[in-house]
Structure 1
């Protein structure tokens, strides 16, 4: 089953996530012809359609088509110039003619000082820095998934993919793996995508792992006599929302008097399903 929504509540023991409605993906694909499933899977989801379609093709042994790099660049640009500025109450900058403009005239600053950075996104970087002091809404370093279908809390994100980049390391050293680290991770991943340095898709024995805008997407599809007989999916959001995962860790390190900033934390972590914040109930 695949999540369609998640409910977030703050209780006496801290933040908690409750799964909402689920999509019966398994019942939609099991028993269907292989080519039909390869076409159907990306249509079931609004996000990362190229990644989902390519993973299905690779898992089923079909010819792989689709421009992953273009999809990731487009998704990063929209998030950086539209979604995140709006989440932080800022005027969105104009969409750049060249996405590299977002990285600054001289590229990302190796020392992590983004308030002196020459980019259309400098106001957003400064706002994040002002709202979240070092150590606030941070996560402990989590390992990457050891297997594409591994369950549990792992760092499967754009920031995790680029954790070794100089700017990310400088930001982590000063602020921790917090909101600014997530933001810079998106920039570093955009830089890697523009330079065609993203990990390559891999597939073997019905299992595919494909880079997507939010991290690595794992998909296993079993088939027999031309029909799909089994499916297993693992998305970056599965790792993000797991118990002890990055989102709960970050929200758990958000002081009670700053919980109104929770939507901004969620926007920076970027789950692929809506996270609805429950209003506290009166006693």
Structure 2
């Protein structure tokens, strides 16, 4: 069973204690590349297609037929689960079954079949169409500057490290006007982050998101996931894995001074009951245990 992320909330600010990391490198060392690439996705419950594709690419193995399609399906499903199941439950809305293939765009956005423009967001949120009630529920709960975190965006170089940074679906949509408008009004808070998932979901449905493994100078491989970008590096000597490193969106999210810590720190103490919703939107990919400290 995956260990839990422990979050304590108090007057001194949030205290975040991540679980002990899975010893990925130790488990893969001295294995043949094919064996290591098959084992990595089995070590984790989520993002298995991303882990598989990334491992094969960084270990010098060929991409197999269907690997990219499996990753695209994985990202799409992760987004749909947030909008139709997990976030509605947290907001007190009825969850819904995932929409059938061929009807997804209308089920998500309504008859328009796509994200609203910046000037049409308010009308869409009030329309009740598609997943608009989910976004409207998030918008109603957070004011400007609440649960926000403004960090430097990830780069190919910074991803290969554990420092705090903005590693989220927004990286794939930096110039999106809808997201820019939300950020200007409210900051990089829950609505901005949920809307980034919505924009990414639209890219999945239109085929604009064509995920694959990108080999960067220095040997780091970047792979898209539903939560952002995963970076991997490895070495193979004499047919065996001699080193393996992996940095995920969760690593950057939970880093000291990272998005999770800053988002909870900027949530007013009187609105601490919203902390579980904030964490659900950030999606640390771990079970979470909350504690309210004595000084809260």
The question of a shared fold, defined as TM-score above 0.5 by the shorter chain, is answered with yes
1:206 is displaced (CA, Å) by 4.5
Indicate the SS of the match to 1:220: strand
Going from structure 1 to structure 2, the CA distance change for 1:282 and 1:11 (only over 3 Å counts) comes to closer
Contact 1:4 1:23 in 2 (8 A): no
Per the alignment, residue 108 of structure 1 pairs with 115
Deviates more, 1:242-251 or 1:271-280: 271-280
Q: Kindly indicate whether residue 260 of structure 2 is the aligned counterpart of residue 247 of structure 1.
A: yes
Q: 1:141 touches 1:177 (CA, 8 Å); kept in 2?
A: no
Higher mean C-alpha deviation, range 37-46 or range 133-142 = 133-142
Higher relative contact order (CA 8 A, sep 6+): 2
Contact 1:93–1:121, Cα closer than 8 Å, also in 2: no
Q: Please say if residues 10 and 292 of structure 2, whose CA atoms lie closer than 8 Å, have aligned partners that are also in contact.
A: no
Secondary structure (helix, strand or coil) at the match of 1:277 reads strand
Please tell me whether the aligned partners of residues 73 and 193 of structure 1 are also in contact (alpha carbons under 8 angstroms).
yes
Q: Give the number of aligned pairs.
A: 281
Distance 1:246 1:117, change over 3 A: farther
- Aligned with 1:138: secondary structure? coil
In the TM superposition, residue 52 of structure 1 has moved relative to its aligned partner by: 0.3
Any idea what SS the aligned residue of 1:218 has? strand
* Pairwise CA distance, 1:193: 1.7
2:249 is matched with which residue: 236, 245, 269?
236
- Hey, what does 2:59 align to over in structure 1? 60
CA RMSD across the alignment: 2.0
Unaligned 5+ runs, structure 2 = none
Equivalent residue number for residue 20 of structure 1: 19
Q: Indicate the residue corresponding to 1:87 in structure 2.
A: 90
CA contact 1:160–1:185 (8 Å) conserved in 2: no
User: Aligned ranges for residues 1-283 of structure 1 at < 5 Å?
Assistant: 4-65=3-64, 66=67, 67=69, 68-97=71-100, 98-101=103-106, 102-106=108-112, 107-111=114-118, 112-113=121-122, 114-117=124-127, 119-147=129-157, 148-198=159-209, 200-203=212-215, 206-281=219-294
User: Secondary structure, in 3 states, of the residue corresponding to 1:136?
Assistant: coil
Provide TM-score, normalisation by structure 2.
0.88
Instruction: Tell me which protein shows more helix as a share of its residues.
Output: 2
Superposition TM-score, scaled by structure 1 size: 0.92
Shift in Å at residue 277 of structure 1? 1.2
Structure 2 counterpart SS, 1:73? helix
